A and B are shown apart, each in its own frame.
Chain A
Amino acid sequence: MPRNISDGERIASIIGGTMLTLLGLSRKGDAGAVIALIGGGLAFRGISGFSPVYKALGMSTADSDSSDVAETQSRMVGVKRSVTINRSPQELYAFWRNFENLPGFMKHLHSVKVFDEKHSHWVASAPMNNTVEWNAEITDEQEDKHIAWRSTGDTSVPNTGSVQFTPAPEGRGTQVLVQIRYEPQAGLLGKAYLSLFGEEPSQQIAEDLRRFKALMETGEIATTTGQPKGRT
């Protein structure tokens, strides 16, 4: 079932719905039954994130309160995410500017080979042990402030990206804003995209940024992979 209700509204629906149901059940007669029914419906839409009434009205509140912008201008899809990192713009810029560092925190990037000041070759993992590759060039940059790049030539996964480093208020490090745009595809390529950007591209990028932050702030990325566990 598709979701057309925002998270805030869903929680309110669950709580409100549950209360109404209990209130309804505690009353005798038809009025009680009606209240309980309305309550049950509310709770349902909260849990499922789907409102039949909204659907009938052609309405949706599902995206209005999410922090990422997923727009479909032309056929490109854009994803935007930001994170605050307790390091200077200089340090963050220097690390990111060497694209060969990116696979260290971008989960689906296999490797990046830098050819010269502007050009590089990217390899990303795709489903069933496949990979997708493309060449990229830097289209715009300003030292310690921002970098923009795009895929070039004939690639099955055209994409563009940019990262911006803005000093955060006193003692709070740097606000890092990443924007990725790509053209969603059907079929096998669609799958490759899915593995590139995840089922929820903004979630995927948020996770990559979280790892970037950890690496920059602590020198490592917290993990439990490889720790012991009972064999039940």
Chain B
Amino acid sequence: MRAVCWNGSTDVRVESVPDPKILNPRDAIVKITSTAICGSDIHLYDGFIPTMEKGDILGHEFMGEVVEVGREVHNLKAGDRVVVPFTIACGSCFFCNRKSWSLCDNSNPNAPIPEALYGSTTGSGLFGYSHMFGGYAGGQAEYARVPFADVGPIKVPEGLEDEKVLFLSDILPTGYMAAENCNIQPGDTVAVWGCGPVGQFAIKSAFMLGAERVIAIDRFPYRLQMAKEYGKAEVLNYAEVEIGEALREMTGGMGPDACIDAVGMEAHGYGLDSVYDYAKQFVRLETDRPTALRQAIVACRKGGTVSIPGVYGGFIDKFPIGAAFSKGLTLKMGQTNVHTYLQPLLERIERGEIDPSGIITHRMSLNDAPRGYEVFKQKQEDCMKVVLKP
């Protein structure tokens, strides 16, 4: 089959590789009909996530048709149309039982690597996301092997086209969980850093969960435009205004009730602190650039919540713990517990409360994936989200 393979920093290639096989009784093989490129893939593309190997198959946002199931998979059969969550979960450990699917104990065969790195047990296996997260072949390919297929994939009705349900695999639940983590109360103002796909869905979700106002922050006019039109948010361009000041002013001096960092470890910035972060990340003294996170913590009102869907992988400097502490902030973060949100969000899509396909700007053949990565990363052609068709 054809698959998008990582070959080094900013080097992905479409290669011909063997087809996947059933390896465990609870596996299924899915013939992929649609797959997407995610902001998380850009962290891999830029070489910021360790333990990638040449030839690793990328991709964790995919859906398709079941073609084969292992002998312990009884809820799926060949021909079923499914969306696959990017977090791999066993469904029977302590964490899965508590619906903390992304913390599953049993799905990462390489768990000793992150344990050595982080000094304690860590999260679940992920598709196409480096060897420290399991080394699973990803879904930017014609076929994928799906472990624990009796627990993860959700069947989707024929009436809904791929583009409407594809993002159940990751970014829609991710934006939703980011908003849910804000514990939104009537009258709340939520500020969202980053108007990429995750940010867009965080904005939508904050309104679905009852936010009074959402203020979205980015520097790309077309992304802010989408936040305004698709998300109905008020917008701030951090290239033009000082964010902390603007937020204070817009919230009567209080600060937003909740802040969402939908940017992650490759934040861009203008301040002195971001120059320092660039330098340190460049020589690998600091692994992550936390410009947005620092701003979010400093801006948030007393007693508020900072929700962090943006991915961080290592160490950051100048973490404003004093501000967080003195304001009694709540910090929530982590990979998304995708499984929890599949059914409720599918229902919202069916009821027409949200149409996730609204963020798609690019549709390409799988063969054009290298161009897709570049266009998405460089934000060329007003690119918001790339969907690949194998």
Contacts and interface: CB of A to CB of B under 8 A. Distances in A.
Contact of B93 (A207, A217, A221, A227): A217
B94 A224 contact: no
B56 A229 contact: yes
A230 B97 CA distance: 36
Contacts of A218: 26, 90-93, 106, 148
B105 A217 contact: yes
Interface in A196-232: 203, 206-207, 210, 213-214, 217-232
B94 A223 contact: no
A51 B17 CA distance: 48
Nearest to B286: A18
Contacts of B72: 219-220
Contact of B94 (A84, A210, A222): A84
A137 interface: no
B307 interface: no
B59 interface: no
Interface in B11-30: 13, 15, 17-21, 23-26
A230 B15 contact: yes
- Secondary structure call for the A interface: loop
A207 B94 CA distance: 19
B20 A228 contact: yes
Interface residues of A, number: 31
Given A219-B72, A224-B134, A228-B17, A172 B94 contact: yes
Nearest to B107: A222
Most buried by B among A172, A220, A225: A220
Contacts of A15: 315
A47 to B, nearest CB: 12
Name which of B15, B72, B88, B93 has the most chain A CB atoms within 10 A of its CB.
B93
A86 interface: yes
Interface string A73-102: 000000000001010000000000000000
A232 B7 contact: yes
B131 to A, nearest CB: 9
Interface string B125-157: 100000000111100010001011000000000
A217 B55 contact: no
A161 interface: no
Interface bin, chain B: 35 or more
Contacts of B23: 223-227
Contact of A86 (B94, B107, B112): B94
Interface in A138-167: none
Interface string B151-168: 000000000000000000
Contacts of A172: 94
B3 interface: yes
Contacts of A225: 23
A205 to B, nearest CB: 12
Contact of B7 (A220, A222, A228, A230): A230
B54 interface: yes
A223 B21 CA distance: 12
Q: Which of B13, B105, B125 has the most CB of A within 10 A?
A: B105
A218 to B, nearest CB: 4
Contacts of A221: 24, 109
Interface string B62-73: 000000000010
Contact of B108 (A213, A222, A230): A222
B119 interface: yes
Given A223-B109, A228-B137, A173 B94 contact: yes
Given A220-B26, A225-B23, A229-B5, 8 more contacts: A213-B106, A214-B90, A217-B106, A220-B72, A222-B106, A226-B23, A228-B17, A229-B56
Q: Considering the complex of A and B, which 7 residue pairs feature the smallest CB-CB distances, nearest first?
A: A230-B5, A230-B55, A230-B15, A228-B17, A232-B54, A218-B90, A229-B55
Interface of B: 1, 3, 5, 7, 13, 15, 17-21, 23-26, 53-57, 72, 88, 90-94, 97, 105-109, 111-112, 119, 125, 134-137, 141, 145, 147-148, 285, 315
